[in-house]
């Protein structure tokens, strides 16, 4: 083999070195922590102006519960016996026809108690000796929704229009005081004593 033949022999192809494969580890994605839920702020009710109480809304003064209870008793008497109005007027006429002194009012209370009983007598005599339009306005307001009690108030108001001035004078002489504002008067003019309800006049006599 000549040198020329040697030069013409093709060289065997040289294999390129194999590239090494590199394996990348997949990054394990950690689950994302949930964002804290937004807690809605407590809704505060809109500030509203305080509504005035019923007492502040009206000029009427509160009537004691015991007085209203006794008024209902008087209303029941009127409903059961409507003609009793005439005997009530006779009691007023009989005791107020004579000159009024400090014994007149106790005598009237005693006579009226025989006719109406102590509770109803207290209501009638208190209304008459207070002798005030404001007193009856407060009573009517306290009786809202109670038509029978309102009718009883009207009867007392009518009696007061007839005899109020003289009854007030009799009360003043017996007790020695007369209040300008009816609310300053102790509406429980008569005091129950003992087991049986007996009304007595609570008065101080200055000699």
Per-residue model confidence as pLDDT tens digits over 145-160: 899 999 999 999 999 9
Whether the pLDDT of residue 207 is over 50: the answer is: no
Per-residue model confidence as pLDDT tens digits over 12-23: 555 555 555 655
Q: Could you write out the DSSP letters of every residue in 110-150? A: HHHHHHH-HHHHHHHHHHHHH--HHHHHHHHHHTTT-HHHH
Classified as helix, coil or strand, 191 is: strand
Identify the residue with better confidence: 53 or 120: 120
Q: Name the band, by pLDDT with cuts 50, 70 and 90, for residue 85.
A: very high
Distance, CA of 114 to CA of 109 (rounded, Å):
9
- The C-alpha torsion from 144 through 145 and 147 to 148, rounded to 10°, is -90
Distance, CA of 192 to CA of 121 (rounded, Å):
12
Distance, CA of 139 to CA of 147 (rounded, Å):
12
Q: Which residue has the tokens 């109480």?
A: 53
Residue 161's pLDDT is 95
Q: Name the band, by pLDDT with cuts 50, 70 and 90, for residue 77.
A: very high
């Amino acid at each position: 083999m000549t040198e020329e033949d040697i030069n013409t022999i093709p060289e065997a192809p040289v294999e390129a070195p194999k590239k090494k494969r590199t394996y990348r580890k997949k990054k394990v994605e950690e689950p994302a922590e949930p964002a804290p839920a937004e807690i809605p702020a407590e809704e505060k009710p809109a500030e509203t102006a305080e509504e005035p109480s019923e007492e502040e809304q009206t000029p009427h003064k509160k009537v004691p519960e015991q007085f209203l209870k006794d008024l209902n008793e008087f209303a029941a008497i009127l409903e059961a016996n409507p003609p009793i109005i005439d005997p009530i007027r006779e009691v007023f006429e009989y005791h107020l026809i004579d000159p009024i002194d400090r014994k007149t009012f106790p005598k009237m209370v005693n006579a009226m108690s025989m006719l109406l009983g102590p509770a109803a007598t207290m209501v009638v005599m208190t209304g008459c000796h207070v002798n005030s339009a404001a007193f009856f306005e407060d009573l009517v307001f306290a009786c809202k929704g109670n038509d029978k009690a309102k009718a009883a108030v009207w009867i007392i108001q009518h009696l007061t229009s007839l005899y109020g001035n003289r009854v007030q004078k009799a009360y003043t002489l017996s007790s020695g005081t007369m209040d300008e504002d009816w609310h300053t008067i102790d509406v429980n003019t008569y005091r129950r004593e003992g087991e049986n309800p007996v009304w007595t006049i609570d008065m101080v006599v200055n000699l």
